[in-house]
């Protein structure tokens, strides 16, 4: 909770003023039964109309002042709660951005979305209501009890018995429901995860006619959430009726006791009405307090879930080295893999192992292999999307862990397997590669990526609006734009991770030719399952089951590497037969 509540520190003034004004409102409210008692005992008893009007105006004044205090308190509490939630959301998003790919994979997308939305909204509501009621309700409850003792000590003992009983009920239910609300949020995570999976893969689900199965699985998770919510809801719902029973029972005893004491002349009728009013105030405030505690238990459970993300330390640290970093010359290798291995989080064995190769500046490197052979894993270690768990990856003679993330990724242009574009214009998406890119640089990148031909046909050209995820573009168009986004950065190392799979052979060939025509010292990694895409590379790395099966040029590998020969023959034989 401390990690979460620290974001309230910028709203100390509001966090103090909100409960103080609520306390003032409560204080004015406690005087109302005494004024009503005076009206009954003095004004009505003596038929003094002037006294009744005078005391009535006092009641109106108390109501107006209380209203003003209440509005002021709610303004400050809302300001503190919304400001706190805004800062918390920014901090959580920033923290998630600092986590490594492995940690993000472990936490899960649906869980992160729940933390950012539902959980923070619950905490915001909890803070808002707590600032408004955490002083008011106790002050009214205990204030009413104290005021009751000033009216009549013997009759007020009913309050002294009822309030502890109510406290036991309220806090007992709170202790039971806190862990249950945590289970509710966990079940909600599963429902959101299934929903996201279905919306993302809706085409696949329909293509394989799996709607009924997905509906059934969603129903199971939804019913599981409903069951937990019903169970905790029943316990929480018991709070109001139980408190009503205790308070109304106390009220019956109070009226009976008051009536006896009025008969004996110990207290007046107005004082009995005052005692009943104080008991009614306690009833109302305890209902509010019960609802507040339910809200607080939800907020506490959500705050603990948010905190569980904050306590995850980013495992991708930059290793500092004393002394001046060695500057690599133009003739030195730009990328070196030295006996590199990588095991994903929770995996029983390494995804890739004993990977060693050297890349000279300006070379084009092709990486080929079957599905799951570790091609993408190898190139993902160059920009440190994942850290090697064995060996070293060197760029310009320095371990990638010695670079800051910003410095390292400024050297690398990365095009991932899945083309991801963001809502906005084509220009906005390309500027991700280089914020200050000129119009000429943008068109040059589009020309190299073979995207210029279709961007020219779009209404507005560079200002054509892309829908979320690039839904209004074809797969090939999306891939070419993501390549342009990487090219516009003018990187030292360009990685194309199976990023031309949606392109036809002619466009793919033009793309590779255009990339080769870029500056002499650009180093290119092409990951592909097509032998035609990498056969003219300066060096081809053949991956098989997480290990290097062969390294060399196309002709050499055909003669010496059985894995490469099988891939090449399977593809070119099919083409010749077709």
- Examine the fold and report which residue of 243, 277, 310 is the final residue of a domain before the chain moves on: 310
Closest by alpha carbon to 14, among 90, 89, 73, 68?
73
Q: Indicate whether 293 and 339 sit together in one domain.
A: no
Residue indicated by tokens 């599905």: 371
Under 8 Å CB-to-CB from 534, ≥6 apart: which residues? 366, 367, 368, 526, 528, 540
397 part of a folded domain? yes
- Statement to judge: residues 254 and 351 lie in one domain: no
Both 167 and 104 in one domain: the answer is yes
Q: pTM value?
A: 0.70
Tokens describing residue 286: 């305890």
287-297 pLDDT, tens digit each: 787 778 778 87
Residue 331 pairs in a beta bridge with none
Of the three residues 252, 278, 310, the one that is the final residue of a domain is 310
Q: Which domain holds residue 223?
A: 2-310
- For residue 437, tell me if it sits in a domain: no
Residues 177 and 103 in one domain: yes
**Domain final residue pick, 257, 275, 310:** 310
Number of folded domains in the chain? 2
The domain that holds 528 is classified in CATH as 3.40.50.300
Q: What is the pLDDT of residue 352?
A: 92
Exposure on the CB side of residue 455, measured as CA atoms within 13 A: 25
Per-residue pLDDT band for 328 (boundaries 50, 70, 90) equals low
Q: Is 143 found in the same domain as 244? A: yes
pLDDT given for residue 548 in this prediction: 92
Same domain, yes or no: 248 and 381: no
Give 374's DSSP letter. Answer: S
Question: Please, what is the Cα angle at 102 between 100 and 104, to 5 degrees?
Answer: 70
Q: What is the pLDDT of residues 473-528, one digit of tens each?
A: 888 889 899 999 998 988 889 999 888 777 888 888 888 888 877 766 789 999 98
Residue 110 predicted with pLDDT over 90? no
Query: What's the confidence (pLDDT) of residue 114?
Result: 84
Q: What is the mean pLDDT of the chain?
A: 85
* Cα gap 293→169, rounded to integer Å: 12
Q: Are 384 and 406 in contact (CB under 8 A)?
A: no
Does any domain span residue 200? Answer: yes
Cα distances (angstroms) measured from residue 404 to each of 97, 319, 340, 393, 409: 15, 9, 20, 14, 9
> In this predicted model, which residue has the larger pLDDT, 255 or 338?
338
Confidence of residue 365 (pLDDT cuts 50, 70, 90): very high
Q: What is the pLDDT of residues 178-215, one digit of tens each?
A: 788 778 878 888 888 888 888 888 888 998 898 999 99
The pLDDT value given to residue 103: 81
pLDDT tens per residue across span 208-233: 898 999 999 999 999 999 999 999 88
Whole-number pLDDT of residue 329: 62
pLDDT of residue 40: 85
- CATH code assigned at 11: 1.20.1560.10
């Amino acid at each position: 909770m401390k990690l979460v509540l620290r974001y309230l520190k910028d709203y100390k003034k509001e966090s103090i003023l909100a409960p103080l004004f609520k306390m003032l409102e409560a204080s004015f409210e406690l005087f109302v039964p005494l004024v009503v008692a005076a009206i009954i005992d003095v004004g009505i008893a003596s038929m003094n109309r002037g006294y009744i009007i005078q005391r009535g105006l006092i009641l109106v004044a108390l109501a107006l002042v209380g209203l003003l205090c209440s509005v002021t308190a709610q303004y400050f509490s809302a300001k503190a709660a919304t400001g706190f939630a805004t800062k918390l959301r920014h901090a959580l998003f920033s923290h998630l951005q600092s986590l490594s790919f492995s940690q993000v994979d472990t936490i899960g997308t649906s869980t992160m979305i729940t933390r950012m939305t539902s959980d923070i909204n619950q905490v915001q509501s909890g803070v808002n209501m707590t600032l408004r009621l955490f002083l008011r309700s106790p002050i009214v409850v205990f204030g009413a009890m104290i005021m009751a003792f000033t009216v009549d000590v013997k009759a007020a003992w009913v309050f002294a018995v009822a309030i502890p009983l109510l406290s036991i009920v309220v806090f007992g239910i709170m202790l039971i429901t806190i862990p249950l609300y945590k289970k509710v949020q966990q079940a909600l995570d599963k429902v959101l995860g299934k929903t996201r999976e279905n919306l993302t893969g809706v085409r696949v689900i329909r293509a394989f006619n799996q709607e009924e199965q997905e509906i059934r699985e969603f129903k199971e998770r939804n019913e599981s959430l409903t069951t937990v919510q019903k169970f905790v809801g029943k316990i929480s719902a018991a709070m109001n009726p139980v408190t009503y029973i205790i308070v109304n029972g106390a009220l019956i005893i109070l009226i009976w006791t008051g009536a006896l004491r009025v008969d004996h002349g110990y207290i007046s009728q107005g004082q009995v009405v005052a005692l009943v009013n104080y008991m009614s105030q306690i009833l109302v405030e305890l209902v509010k307090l019960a609802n507040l505690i339910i809200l607080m238990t939800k907020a506490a459970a959500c705050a603990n879930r948010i905190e569980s993300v904050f306590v995850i330390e980013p495992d991708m640290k930059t290793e500092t080295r004393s002394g001046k970093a060695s500057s690599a010359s133009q003739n030195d290798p730009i990328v070196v893999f030295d006996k590199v291995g990588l095991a994903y989080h929770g995996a029983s064995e390494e995804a890739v192992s004993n990977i060693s190769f050297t890349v000279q500046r300006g070379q084009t490197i092709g990486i080929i292999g079957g599905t799951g052979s570790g091609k993408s894993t190898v190139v993902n270690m160059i920009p440190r999307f994942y850290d090697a768990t064995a060996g070293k990856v060197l760029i310009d003679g320095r371990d990638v862990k010695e670079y800051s993330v910003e410095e390292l990724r400024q050297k690398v242009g990365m095009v991932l397997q899945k083309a991801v574009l963001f809502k906005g214009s084509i220009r906005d998406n390309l500027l991700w590669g280089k914020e200050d890119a000129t119009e000429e640089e943008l068109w040059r990148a589009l020309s190299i990526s073979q995207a210029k031909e279709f961007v020219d046909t779009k209404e507005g050209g560079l200002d054509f609006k892309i829908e979320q995820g690039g839904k209004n573009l074809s797969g090939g168009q999306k891939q070419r734009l993501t390549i342009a986004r990487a090219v516009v950065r003018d990187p030292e190392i360009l990685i194309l991770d199976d990023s031309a799979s949606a392109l036809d052979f002619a466009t793919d060939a033009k793309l590779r030719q255009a990339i080769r025509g870029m500056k002499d010292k650009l180093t290119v990694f092409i990951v592909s399952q097509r032998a035609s895409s990498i056969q003219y590379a300066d060096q081809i790395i053949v991956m098989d089951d997480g290990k290097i099966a062969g390294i060399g040029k196309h002709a050499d590998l055909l003669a010496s590497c059985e894995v490469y020969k099988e891939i090449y023959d399977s593809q070119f034989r099919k083409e010749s037969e077709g």
